[in-house]
Amino acid sequence: MKATAPASAANLGPGFDAIAVALELYVTVEIKESPYFNVHSKNLGSNIEVNSDHIASRVLREIYGHDNFYVEIDSAIPLARGLGSSAALAVAVAGAAGAADPLKVAVTIDGHPENAGASVLGGLVAATMENGKPVAKRIDIDPRNTFLVVVPDFELSTSKARSVLPGKLDLKDVAQNLGSLALMIAGLINQDQFTRAASRDNIHQPFRNLLNPKAEKIIDFILNEGGLGACWSGAGPSILALTDEDNQSLKDKLTRYLAEISYKAEVMSLKPDLGGLQITS
Kindly state the average pLDDT of the residues 245-260: 96
- pLDDT at residue 81 in the model: 95
- pLDDT, tens digit, for every residue of 132-178? 999 999 999 999 999 999 999 999 999 999 999 999 999 999 999 99
Considering the chain, what is the average pLDDT of its residues? 95
Residue 117's SS3 state is helix
- Strand bridging mode 69-75 / 38-43: parallel
The CATH number given to 2-140+276-280 is 3.30.230.10
- pLDDT at residue 46 in the model: 76
- pLDDT, tens digit, for every residue of 183-230? 999 999 999 999 989 999 999 999 999 999 999 999 999 999 999 999
Cβ neighbourhood burial of 167 (10 Å; 0-12, 13-18, 19+): exposed
Residue pair 195/182 in contact (Cβ under 8 Å)? The answer is: no
The CATH number given to 146-270 is 3.30.70.890
Residue range(s) of every CATH 3.30.230.10 domain in the chain:
2-140+276-280
β partners of residue 30 = 2, 72
Kindly indicate the confidence band of residue 48, based on its pLDDT and cuts at 50, 70 and 90. confident
Q: For residues 11 and 151, give the distance between their C-alpha atoms in angstroms, rounded to a whole number.
A: 16
Q: What is the DSSP letter of 49?
A: -
In this predicted structure, the answer to whether residue 278 has a pLDDT above a threshold of 90 is: yes
pLDDT above 90 covers what percent of the chain?
93
In this predicted structure, the answer to whether residue 243 has a pLDDT above a threshold of 90 is: yes
With the C-alpha atoms ordered 12, 17, 22, 23, is the resulting torsion angle positive or negative?
positive
Q: For residues 260 and 268, give the distance between their C-alpha atoms in angstroms, rounded to a whole number.
A: 18
Kindly indicate the confidence band of residue 73, based on its pLDDT and cuts at 50, 70 and 90. very high
Kindly state the average pLDDT of the residues 101-109: 97
pTM of the model: 0.95
Helix (H) / strand (E) containing 217: helix 215-224
Q: Which amino acid is at 12?
A: L
Residue range(s) of every CATH 3.30.70.890 domain in the chain:
146-270
**Residue with more model confidence, 150 or 51:** 150
In this predicted structure, the answer to whether residue 44 has a pLDDT above a threshold of 90 is: no
My answer on whether omega of the bond before 237 falls inside 30° of 0, hence cis, is yes
- pLDDT at residue 45 in the model: 78
Q: For residues 51 and 73, give the distance between their C-alpha atoms in angstroms, rounded to a whole number.
A: 15
